[in-house]
Amino acid sequence: SDLYNVILCVGWAGVLTKIALHYAKGGDVTTVYPGIRELLVVSQTAAVMEILHAASGLVRSPLGTTFAQVFSRIFVLWGGLELGSKDVTQSYFVTQMVIAWSLSEIIRYSFYAINLIKGKVPAFLQWIRYSAFMILYPMGISGEMMTMYKALPYIAEKQSLSISLPNRYNFAFNYYGFVVVSLALLYPLGTYVLYGYMLSQRKKVIGGAKKEKKE
């Protein structure tokens, strides 16, 4: 809905503003996360609704790409940042990642909100929506991967989110191994799919608009 888009646009703008004010006041990269944590957790976790929206047909976004994008961020947020390692939360890569997330979401949610409310989006916002990802995706994805890479020693030491045998369900899960596989295989594959999807959308939307003008 338009209210959902407006609320999350404001939420991500708040995250970005907090980062800007932190640095404007002479804050250090190691102390960014505590100041943005609560708003970031709420704004990003709320995006789970988008998987439900895509699955129910409420929006036209493909379920696969929507799930991949939302899951990767939830994975980094709850399976990396929120585990409790200061080596992770004090990293420069967290700031890089969250700035990329914030800019992407401000653009995306404002695009959706204006489209729903007015029925048409200004040309400049449409261009930004289908162009900014070329910089913001690599910036965000590399930040996510480095954040999870930095979390590996902590995950190995604490056995975070792992399930060991014996247990009543006779089930084991090695979270450290899952993260390694994700970084080595799932992230490269997911990046290829998401980036390819956005490039095709850009060609269709911006290319189509140019074709209409010529005609």
| 114 alpha carbon, distance to own chain's centre | 21
Instruction: Point out the catalytic residue in the list 105, 112, 144, 187.
Output: 144
CB 163 within 8 A of CB 172: yes
Instruction: Point out the catalytic residue in the list 4, 137, 154, 197.
Output: 137
User: What letter does residue 84 receive in the DSSP assignment?
Assistant: -
Beta bridge partners of 198: none
Q: How many CB atoms lie within 10 A of CB 81?
A: 23
Q: How many CB atoms lie within 10 A of CB 179?
A: 22
Q: Indicate if 38 belongs to the active site.
A: no
Q: Indicate if 109 belongs to the active site.
A: no
- Nearest residue to 82 via CA among 28, 49, 41, 22: 41
- Cα-Cα-Cα-Cα torsion 161, 162, 166, 167, nearest 10 degrees, comes to 30
How far apart are alpha carbons 71 and 99 in whole angstroms? 18
CA distances from 69 to 48, 63, 162, 168, 174 (A): 10, 10, 23, 34, 23
Query: Any idea which residues carry the catalytic annotation?
Result: 137, 144
